[in-house]
Amino acid sequence: MLDVNKIYYGGDYYPEQWNEEIWREDMRLMREAGVNLVSLGIFSWAKLEPKPGQYQFDWLDRILDLLHTNGVLVALATATASPPPWFSRLHPESWPVAADGLSYKPGSRQFYCPNSVAYREAASRLAGEMARRYGKHPAVWMWHVNNEYGCHVHECYCPVCAQAFQEWLRERYKSVDVLNDVWGTAFWSLGISTWADIQLPNRNTSYRNPAQVLDYRRFMNQSLLNLFKAEIDAIRAAGADQPLFTNMVFGLKELDGFEWAKYQDVTAIDMYINPANGKQAWKEGAFWHDLTRSWGRGKPYLLVEQTTSQVNWRTVNSLKAPGTIRTFSYQALARGASSVMFFQWRASRSGAEKYHAGMIPHYGVDGSRIFAEVKQMGAEFTRLEKLASQRIHSEVGILFSYENIWALEIDSKPAQLDAWNMLRPWYHALIEQNIPLDFVHPDDGFNQYKVLIAPLLYQLSDAQAERLRRFVQTGGTLLMTYFSGITDLNERIWLGGYPALLQDVLGIKVEEWQPFQPGDTNLLSVSNTSIKCSHWADLLHTTTAKVIATYTQDFYAGRPALTKNQFGIGTAYYAGTLPAQNWLSNWICSICAEQGVKPLVKADPNVETGLRTGTDGASTLVLINHANEPAQVNLLGKHGRSLLDDRVITDELVLDPYDVLILELES
């Protein structure tokens, strides 16, 4: 059903912004650029349904036919991302309300309350109409459902949501007693007597009940997911059976990508790396690519949007340096994507995003450096068909769940935790060592992994702990960090020394912790060397674990900081603090090596690597130099043929500044 035997290349296409003469030029330039896929109709609701129930599809028919004639596939949007002004006028109850209790006003996009019944019905109706009309159209390869759910409105505090929250809780807990127990309301006199007592958690006098806040985040995720599911149902009910996806936006923490992936044929991401972050910027991109691929648990995924150069929405919008449109596009291929796409095909003339770059700039194509790079990639991708069907196979997993992040972000903790960024050092350690990894949901299978890393896995259920125990017992290696296994899935602490459920596996018991004041550090003594550590220090007791490192400063000097425990036939490491990045990176590399997991290559920093392997066992190595200086790479015995220029490469090589190498490996 899903043909991923070539690299899909293209972008968002908004023909409604242009006259039909320009459409014809677009077709010529798409062919010239090697474009074979566009997303169409994303914000076309007002044009497709200018008045309630009155549809105007003729222009869409014409452009679809034109694209088809020109060999361009379409990811057809359901066009529901931005309800038209008539909808907002007729349905004032659908206006979203911010945390301060004030309503937003129409005039931008994504203007709807996630629980608005009128919006859900209108969006489903339009999705159904689209699917009925285009479900068999030969150009329509996929459905692009809505657009970036939750990007602007991922919470709402309107009366409709208040009511829906009560209903959602009633469904979840069935009885008020159960809710009181789970929420721990025997505190500050918060016990509720009836469902109607429950309010939304905004504008509170002091700290809110953490379990209520967590449930609110779950509820909002579910409310948006219900909108997605309603559109899916409408598409399928109309008999359209093309594969479908919705594109998530990079940086958004509010939607549980693992859960949403269950309803999509491919996962999809919109990626807006800040070029101003220089040669480190690729690590942010790598993180989101790995996450998007991992949501789908091995399914192919799409890079649906990125920019060819500037965006319009940062305080200062930097250009992408020459060569980096290409390096950031190849990053998607290095990490397993099936497509490289941009927002947008042609830079707009008017509207809020007219200063946003496109594949065709305002300048035009002749002599344009952007279009030249765009064209170069289009030509190169035709040589990479084999790569498209190959997948990433990782033996290392980082345990990651959105609920865990949501729980960590709730206030009144030992310290205000920037949970999202606190995971990064553990992730960076792996990518800096060129070791492939997946993010793994703690409820998913661990079988394919040899090493699991659990950074700040704050929440842990009985069942999850049991599966981790079995993983180690049967030979796996677990590395768990500070502030893990502290609570159940509802903000209730596991008593008896943290992390209570895994004390035996780790051979330790944490008694207290010292979160560091900003900028503070301590020193670790590790086999007679001294390493800086930061963020946090657990004060722990070992039971069966061996001590790898101790603190050397402050009142807890001499106490264990890093430990190692044999459990069953596996090994469990514990890090009670965050060691300096260089050391951490090497440490994780040696932990992986104990399990036979080796780096793909050895390379200068800011070389990114990915390995894709096909069902036939053939592999392709993607190497990217993200720095503006030459980079050394040692292939560690691998050799192969460069797919872009047929060079045969063995052992050592130098990558030019901002260059890529795609190597078909020979075994």
Q: Decide whether 160 or 266 has the Cβ nearer to Zn ion.
A: 160
Q: Decide whether 34 or 96 has the Cβ nearer to Zn ion.
A: 96
Closest separation in Å from C-beta 361 to ligand GAL: 15
Residue 148 catalytic? yes
The site partner of 129 among ligand GAL, Zn ion, none (C-beta below 5 to 8 Å per kind) is none
What separation in angstroms does the CA of 538 have from each of 149, 349, 526, 559, 571?
Answer: 39, 56, 16, 9, 20
The site partner of 311 among ligand GAL, Zn ion, none (C-beta below 5 to 8 Å per kind) is ligand GAL
Q: Decide whether 29 or 311 has the Cβ nearer to ligand GAL.
A: 311
Closest separation in Å from C-beta 114 to Zn ion: 6
Residue from 44, 115, 116, 147 in contact with ligand GAL (CB under 6 A): 147
In the set 155, 305, 491, 608, the catalytic residue is 305
Residue with nearest beta carbon to ligand GAL = 343
Q: Which of 615, 244, 293, 610 is nearest to 439 (CA)?
A: 293
Cβ-contact 451, 597 below 8 angstroms: yes
The site partner of 270 among Zn ion, ligand GAL, none (C-beta below 5 to 8 Å per kind) is ligand GAL
Q: Decide whether 140 or 273 has the Cβ nearer to ligand GAL.
A: 273
What separation in angstroms does the CA of 163 have from each of 198, 225, 281, 405, 506?
Answer: 9, 18, 43, 26, 45
404 by DSSP, 3-state: which? Answer: helix
Q: Decide whether 131 or 248 has the Cβ nearer to ligand GAL.
A: 248
Q: Is the peptide bond before 376 cis (omega within 30 degrees of 0)?
A: no
Q: Which stretch binds ligand GAL (CB under 6 A): 145-153, 176-184, 282-290, 527-535?
A: 145-153
Q: Decide whether 35 or 304 has the Cβ nearer to ligand GAL.
A: 304
Please give the radius of gyration of the chain, using alpha carbons only, rounded to the nearest integer: 26
Residue from 16, 25, 181, 353 in contact with ligand GAL (CB under 6 A): 353
Closest separation in Å from C-beta 151 to ligand GAL: 6
User: Per CB under 6 A, which of residues 256..315 are in contact with ligand GAL?
Assistant: 270, 272, 305, 311
Residue from 343, 458, 471, 574 in contact with ligand GAL (CB under 6 A): 343
Encoded one letter per residue, x for contact with ligand GAL by CB under 6 A and - for no contact, window 495-534 reads ----------------------------------------
Q: Decide whether 303 or 456 has the Cβ nearer to ligand GAL.
A: 303
Q: Which of 495, 504, 497 is nearest to 472 (CA)?
A: 504
Closest separation in Å from C-beta 103 to ligand GAL: 23
437 by DSSP, 3-state: which? Answer: strand
- The residue whose two tokens read 């960090």 is 481
Q: Is the peptide bond before 85 cis (omega within 30 degrees of 0)?
A: no
What separation in angstroms does the CA of 262 have from each of 352, 478, 511, 591?
Answer: 34, 27, 39, 32
User: Per CB under 6 A, which of residues 201..260 are in contact with ligand GAL?
Assistant: 249
- Considering only the C-alpha atoms of the chain, give the largest distance between any 2 of them, rounded to a whole number of Å: 77
Encoded one letter per residue, x for contact with ligand GAL by CB under 6 A and - for no contact, window 356-395 reads x---------------------------------------
Cβ-contact 225, 402 below 8 angstroms: no
Tokens of 69: 């004639």
The site partner of 113 among Zn ion, ligand GAL, none (C-beta below 5 to 8 Å per kind) is Zn ion
> What phi and psi, each to the nearest 5 degrees, are found at residue 464?
-65, -45
Fill in the amino acid letter for 353: E
Cα distance between residue 479 and residue 494, in whole Å: 20
The site partner of 161 among Zn ion, ligand GAL, none (C-beta below 5 to 8 Å per kind) is Zn ion
> What phi and psi, each to the nearest 5 degrees, are found at residue 177?
-60, -45
In the set 129, 148, 403, 608, the catalytic residue is 148
Name, in order, each residue with C-beta under 8 angstroms of 19's C-beta and a sequence gap of 6 or more.
none
Told to check if 148 binds ligand GAL by CB under 6 A, we report yes
Residues of this chain that bind ligand GAL (CB under 6 A): 147-148, 151, 249, 270, 272, 305, 311, 343, 353, 356
Active-site residue set = 148, 305
